Amino acid sequence: MTQLRATTDNAADVVSDALIVMIHTPDNAKSPKVLAAKETMSGPIVAEILASFAAVANGDTKSVRITCQSVAAKSVVVCPVTDPTDTEKVRRTIGAAVRGLNEVASVSVVPPSQAPPILRAICEGALLGVYRFTNYKSGKHTPIAKVSVLVTAAAAKTARVAVKEARALIDGVNLTRDLVNTPPNDLSPQALVEVAQAVFDDRKVGVKVWSDRTLRRDGFGGLTAVGQGSVNGPRLVRLRYRHPKAKVHIALVGKGITFDSGGLSLKPPKSMEWMKSDMAGSAAVLATLRVVHDWGLPINVTGWLAAAENMPSATAQRPGDIITINGGKTVEVLNTDAEGRLVLADALVEAAKDNPDEIIDIATLTGAQLVALGALMAGAMGNNDQLREAIVAAGTAAGESLWPMPLPPELRASLDSPIADLANIGDRNGGMLTAALFLNEFVPAEIPWSHLDIAGPSFNEAGASGYIPKGGTGFGVRTLSEYLRQRSQ
């Protein structure tokens, strides 16, 4: 694990492989300004860095690596930033700079400001950028072992808090990335259960597990039907965090399809290549519970992981089957590739039995989300506009993009079935919205509920950018953690 610390050392004295310094270019690249407190970086160092940057940048505004004789660091990475007061821009700039460093053991960062939000963004961005998934790579891989953030004596106490909070948060994000990146032959529903048990073994979070046998016995028809085609049976996991000063109880529900072949409604081969990521919702819920615990938030949170593997076989559910969801509603299965909503329905019904103040589900639910909002922005829907808007705002504050979407009542009729209470697919147009309308059928109207469709932003098929690596992104953990932090106040 990369060590993150705040230090009051001067930039001239810090021994590291790389020193990251931000510059602000308010007019153009010809008039940059080094952003640093005088206590962390002296005038002569600033002058040398600017001169070296000007000599190699040639008007470019990308990060460049230079040498600087005035500092003990082996090299200096100069990072232009357009707005040094924007936490997300600072987070991305630092994350990209750290991600671009290879074969270095230690990094020092000069913050552009000593303001608490900026210090927090620096810590988060650095830890996000450090991430590498090398579990299945042969050969030697040397991760960055230490990141030091240079602060003034006056800001030292604030910086220590930022380090602690960022550490807990980004460890959660990176846990989610690890789980999403783990191949499905190593992450079955039971393996996900074991990860949850290991994570909370030394934390005060209760873990309860329903096996495939107990799910069938207790009437969880969605999980049972989706999982019955696989040799790896389905699981439902309840994670329970309680705080003695809590005044609010929030339920989080995550879709956990550890691999989605589409079932008998088989996906094309190319579409299956990244279906190990179909459990990103459950991974985000698991990680958020860990963040909430490690932050010690005065709030009660119950997490639900609805885990199954959707496979074709002689025992798989068929198009045309009618299943009974937890609670008694019947569903005609017209497409076995619309399986996530079936396992979520079971979990939503169970979550509502605790009568929480709010329910939030998070899921890689529809390809229609990608069509509507692209690969970087999640859709937020639900039965309560105030809750939906608050979650979108929490995402903005945390550095994740969500967009509020409606639940048009006129689309509900497309889910009608002539022989069951409803069908599992509706109108192809507005597929993200009809999927949410399906879920809405399993949430009591009196409980505020929001549904987050993260199909696009949970997995990056393109090249790495900013602090976002290729593969699992950990999307949702920061939004949910920030929202819960706000609700606990």
262-299 pLDDT, tens per residue?
Answer: 999 999 999 999 999 999 999 999 999 999 999 999 99
Measured CA to CA in angstroms, residue 305 lies from 250, 261, 308, 326, 343 at distances of: 15, 19, 10, 15, 9
What does DSSP assign to residue 201? T
Which residue among 240, 267, 329, 470 is the active-site one? 267
Q: State how far the Cα of 191 lies from the Cα of 286, in Å rounded to an integer.
A: 13
pLDDT at res. 390? 98
pLDDT band at 59 (very low <50, low <70, confident <90, very high): low
pLDDT confidence of residue 30: 58
Instruction: Provide mean pLDDT across the span 407-423.
Output: 98
Distance CA 144, CA 132 (A): 10
- Kindly report, residue by residue over 244-258, the tens digit of the pLDDT: 999 999 999 999 999
Strand, helix or coil for residue 242: coil
pLDDT single digits (tens) 130-170: 999 999 999 877 789 999 999 999 999 999 999 999 999 99
User: Which of 341, 388, 478, 485 does the annotation list as catalytic?
Assistant: 341
Q: What average pLDDT does this structure show over 396-409?
A: 98
pLDDT score for 384: 98
Beta partners for 460?
A: 471
Check residue 60 and give its pLDDT: 59
Instruction: Supply the pLDDT for residue 56.
Output: 79
- Grade residue 103 by pLDDT with cuts at 50, 70 and 90: confident
Other CB atoms closer than 10 Å to residue 1's CB: what's the count? 10
Residue 222 has what pLDDT?
98
Q: Angle at the Cα of 324 (from 240 to 180), degrees rounded to 5?
A: 45
Task: Give the chain's mean pLDDT.
Answer: 95
Mean pLDDT along residues 71-92: 94
Report the alpha-carbon distance of residue 456 to residue 58 in Å, rounded.
37
- Say whether 267 is catalytic: yes
For the entire predicted model, the pTM comes to 0.97
- Do 121 and 29 touch, CB atoms closer than 8 A? no
- Span 316-330, average pLDDT: 98
pLDDT of 392 over the 90 cut? yes
Least reliable range by pLDDT among 67-71, 305-309, 368-372? 67-71
Element housing 471 (H / E): strand 471-472
Summarised one tens digit per residue, pLDDT across range 14-40 is 999 999 999 987 655 557 788 898 899
By three-state DSSP, how is residue 226 classified?
helix
Query: Domains along the chain?
Result: 3-171 (3.40.220.10), 182-487 (3.40.630.10)
What's the full length of the chain, in residues? 489
> Known catalytic residue: 245?
no
pLDDT digits (tens, 9 = 90+) for 195-210: 999 999 999 999 999 9
What is the percent of the chain with per-residue pLDDT over 90, rounded to a whole number?
90
Mean pLDDT of 123-135: 96
Band of pLDDT at residue 58, cut at 50, 70 and 90 = low
- Bridge partners of 210, per DSSP, are 236
Distances (CA, A) of 95 to 116, 117, 259: 18, 16, 30
Tell how strand 322-324 and strand 330-332 pair up: antiparallel
